[in-house]
Amino acid sequence: MYYIAESDKSFEQATIDLDAAVKRNGFGVLHIHDLGKTLRGKGVPFTGECRVFEVCNPDQAARVLATDMRLNMALPCVHRCRQNQDRLDQAGTNACCPVAGSNADGGGEGGRGKNHPHGE
């Protein structure tokens, strides 16, 4: 399951808003990987921006693991913001994460719930 949502926000504003939304909905941000910064720091001529957020809701994670411990490979939930040329989009994927599952334009899989970082 996945969703992709395009945004008119700046890259920085989109990452700030995503961080706030996941926290507001009971998720913790475990780590933010700044792929652009990392690649450029290693001498790779990467011109885009991409930040990958690892997020987790402890109650949801416990329910998933209680159902089937093999699902630990699907945790934590992953969301990303990507700026490529003049286009910004946010995406998430994880079948067991309630914040993933909807395209902001309504064309993606799943539906928005109260825990969706882009609102209901």
Mean pLDDT of the chain: 76
- Domain 2-93: CATH superfamily, name plus number: TT1751-like domain (3.30.310.70)
Work out the average pLDDT over 50-71: 90
Of residues 59 and 116, more confidence is placed in 59
The closest of 5, 22, 1, 15 to 103, measured between CA atoms, is: 5
Q: What is the DSSP string of the chain?
A: -EEEEEESS-HHHHHHHHHHHHHHTT-EEEEEEEHHHHHHHTT----SEEEEEEEE-HHHHHHHHHH-GGGGGG-SEEEEEEEETTEEEEEEE-TT-TT-S--TTS-SSS---TT-TT--
pLDDT 10s digits, 84-102: 767 777 777 654 454 443 3
Q: Is the pLDDT of residue 34 over 60?
A: yes
Work out the average pLDDT over 62-72: 91
Q: Is the pLDDT of residue 29 over 70?
A: yes
What's the predicted TM-score (pTM) here?
A: 0.72
